[in-house]
Amino acid sequence: MGSIALLLLVALPLAGFVVLGLAGKRLRPAAVAVIGAGSVGLAALDALGLLVRFLLEPPEARVIRQTLWVWLDTGELHPRLSLLLDPLALVMALVVTGVGFLIHLYSIGFMRGEEGNGRFFAQMNLFVASMLVLVLADDLFFLYLGWEGVGLSSYLLIGFWWRDEKNGRAARKAFIVTRIGDAAMAVGLFVLFQGLGTLQISEVAARATAAWRVGAGPAVLASALLFAGAAGKSAQLPLQTWLPDAMAGPTPVSALIHAATMVTAGVYLIARMHALFELAPDVLAAVAVVGAVTMLLAGLSAIAQRDIKRVLAYSTMSQIGMMFLALGVGAWSAAIFHLVVHAFFKALLFLSAGVVILALDHEHDLFRMGGLRKELPLAFWTFAIAGASLAGLPLVTAGFYSKDLILWEAWASSRGGPLLGAAGIFGALVTSLYVGRVILLAFFGERRTVASVRPGRVLAIPLVVLAGLSLVGGLVELPPTLGHAPSFSWFLEPSLPAATAAGRRSDMAILQGLTSLASLSGILLAYLGFLRHRRADEELPLVGPGVTGILASGFGFDALYDLCVVRPLTRIARANSADALDRIFEGLAALVGLTHRALCRTQTGRLRTYAAAMVVGTVVIVGIAVLR
């Protein structure tokens, strides 16, 4: 039973992709919508059923394994198509299908009347199916297939409006930048296979702990390479530049990339391979630092963005950075908890921003919005709820619980420390600052543009559901100071070891107070800076145009890479366009062409030539056979 349900979980969206991919053009839009959203919806129901089943079983029985088949059977390497469902995989699957389904539902309304509806839903289904393969794979080879599938579908969807050259460029950028991480990850898999002789995930963990001691060379190398792969997919420093440009896709695609699929893949990978990473404490420390730095840089950049979707993009980068920080200090379940909560409110932020964008006829500029509170009340309230959750407004939002847990672990766990904790608190301040700015600029103040379209019911349902989840979703994990009911961590316990942080309850309460203070003062700062002294230009108060420019460009990474990588490479390529080494390959091509022409001359079309060749050939073969 369980294994069939597990298979269906992947098979349903995949079937949706196949059907829509083959027949999408011929189906009516209604049929496309039913198949596209329905396949993911059924998968979500399936995942819910599996959750019920898991909850009814004792914790040690909460695992389903299924090997579908061995693709190629060659000596050592047996790339297996096998699935593993454990609590971690189930949580991920629930997020992917649940949030994914709501986004699909929303897309029906958002993409109404667009050209290429069938193509859109086919690729969305492929996206979800690839992500499910990624989180359910029991074999790193199979996981890598899902990993690449995610990369492919993100490329297709970011460039969905391909007639605009700019979108194509953004799609290529996402594909190429993440490719750097993917290549590192592939090498990491080679290292693992070389050292351990297996790619099956549980086997890798078992053999690695048995064969390598803490800090062993191969363990450090492999986990560093896997980390590079994770950083690419999750848009962490230094491979983060693709994410803001990825906004070129339709808004539901952005929601899918940022909430349910793609960027969470890196977090999942590290959590899944935690046994390996624990053998490499230095790499874990690097994960924490990279996460913290990304969180701060991206958060600061978000303050200076004009484009509402770019604010959200930098916000994702920053929040994923926070999850990496949690992973780096060994707070595995806290990272996954924040991933889930983030999926709720980030999806909601994108979807309600999409309502605004749609209503203003594809207007993205914050400075041309304003006063939309009265015109688009649903969008305002849902955006505000999601924003509050992102800012971690104390007690009433889900984001508070998940963020708080991470900050506590960063502060108090053996791998963390005051520095990481302080970075986290500062990050919380920055977060509520940019959230407050967006809400104030878009929904308060005077009206700049008149809203033309109001959201229909199809758009409203996902918004309301996600708003509810963004508020109460945090109650599954209550900290010791507030009731102490960490049921989420308990559920994940079979997959992920418990957190290590040890500290007094009073310390925790103090930290929670600090975080709440940071969160509230960020909003206050935003109010003072952007509503009270609202300025017509985009310059930030207090800091002047120079700093604003740096922040707006995301600390100039694009320019830096352009200067250090892209331009030198193109210059070298241009200077070397008459490469001597090319001569070899041109020579080879010429040689092949020459032999082709020579051989063609033998095909005279004359029977006598053919017969002669046959006779001479026979004589030669008999000659060789006899004379040797």
Partner 1 sequence: MSADELRAISPLIVLGAAALVALLGITIRRSHRFSALACVVGLALAMASLFLRGSAPPPGPLLVADDFAVVYTALVLTASFAVAVLASGYMARRQRPEELYVLLLVATLGAVVLVWSGHLVSLFLGLETLSVSLYSLIGYTRTGPRSVEASIKYLILAAASSAILLFGMALVYAELGTMVIIEMGPALAVASGRTLVVPGVALMVTGIGFKLALVPFHMWTPDVYEGAPAPVTALVATVSKGAVVALFVRLAWALGAAGQAALLVAFGIVAAASMLAGNLLALRQDNLKRLLAYSSIAHLGYVLTAILAGGPGAIEAVSIYVTAYFVTILAAFGVVTVLSGPDGDADRLEEYQGLVWRRPFVAMVLVLSLLSLAGIPLTAGFIAKFAVIFAGVRSGLWTLLAVLVISSAIGLYYYLRVVVVMFAAAPAASAVAPPVPQSSRVLLLCLALILVWLGVYPVPLQGIAWTAASSLARESPPVTTPLGPATARRP
Site of interaction with partner 1 (CB under 8 A): 69-74, 592-593, 595-596, 599-600, 602-603, 605, 607, 609-611, 613-614, 616-618, 620-622, 624-628
SS3 state of residue 605: coil
Q: Which of 323, 319, 390, 317 is nearest to 352 (CA)?
A: 390
Find the radius of gyration of the CA atoms of the chain: 27
CB of 617 to partner 1, least distance (A): 3
Burial class (CB in 10 A: 0-12, 13-18, 19+), 360: buried
| Nearer of residues 571 and 596 to partner 1, judged by Cβ | 596
Count of all residues that appear for the chain in the document = 628
In one letter, which amino acid is 72?
A: L
| Nearer of residues 81 and 92 to partner 1, judged by Cβ | 81
| Nearer of residues 395 and 613 to partner 1, judged by Cβ | 613
| Nearer of residues 569 and 588 to partner 1, judged by Cβ | 588
Q: Which of 30, 37, 49 is nearest to 13 (CA)?
A: 37
SS3 state of residue 432: helix
Sort strands 485-486 and 64-70 into parallel, antiparallel or unpaired.
unpaired
CB of 613 to partner 1, least distance (A): 5
CA distance linking residue 591 with residue 267, whole number of Å: 50
CA distance linking residue 115 with residue 160, whole number of Å: 10
CB of 148 to partner 1, least distance (A): 12
H/E segment holding residue 587: helix 580-602
Residue 238 preceded by cis peptide, ω within 30: yes
CB of 232 to partner 1, least distance (A): 23
| Nearer of residues 71 and 426 to partner 1, judged by Cβ | 71
| Nearer of residues 74 and 506 to partner 1, judged by Cβ | 74
CB of 541 to partner 1, least distance (A): 54
| Nearer of residues 162 and 610 to partner 1, judged by Cβ | 610
Please list the helix, strand and coil fractions of the chain in percent, rounded to the nearest 5, in that order: 75, 5, 20
CB of 166 to partner 1, least distance (A): 23
| Nearer of residues 56 and 600 to partner 1, judged by Cβ | 600
CB of 287 to partner 1, least distance (A): 33
For 274, what's the count of Cα atoms within 13 Å in the CB-facing half-sphere?
23
| Nearer of residues 71 and 490 to partner 1, judged by Cβ | 71
CB of 139 to partner 1, least distance (A): 15
CB of 606 to partner 1, least distance (A): 9
Residue with token string 């198509």 = 81
Residue with token string 């975080």 = 515
| Nearer of residues 587 and 617 to partner 1, judged by Cβ | 617
Q: Which of 323, 315, 329 is nearest to 286 (CA)?
A: 329
| Nearer of residues 26 and 484 to partner 1, judged by Cβ | 26
- Would you say 299 and 345 are in contact if contact means Cβ atoms under 8 Å apart? no
CB of 554 to partner 1, least distance (A): 37
Residue with token string 């390959």 = 585
| Nearer of residues 577 and 603 to partner 1, judged by Cβ | 603
Q: In the 8-state DSSP scheme, what is residue 258?
A: I
Burial class (CB in 10 A: 0-12, 13-18, 19+), 165: exposed
Q: What are phi and psi of 447, to 5 degrees?
A: -80, 135
Q: Distance of CA 208 to CAs 137, 190, 203, Å?
A: 19, 14, 8
CB of 625 to partner 1, least distance (A): 4
Q: Distance of CA 626 to CAs 613, 614, 616, 621, Å?
A: 20, 18, 15, 9
CB of 576 to partner 1, least distance (A): 24
Q: What are phi and psi of 65, to 5 degrees?
A: -120, 145
CB of 74 to partner 1, least distance (A): 6
| Nearer of residues 23 and 378 to partner 1, judged by Cβ | 23
H/E segment holding residue 550: helix 544-552
CA distance linking residue 247 with residue 239, whole number of Å: 16
Beta strand residue intervals within 317-452, DSSP E: none
CA distance linking residue 548 with residue 213, whole number of Å: 48
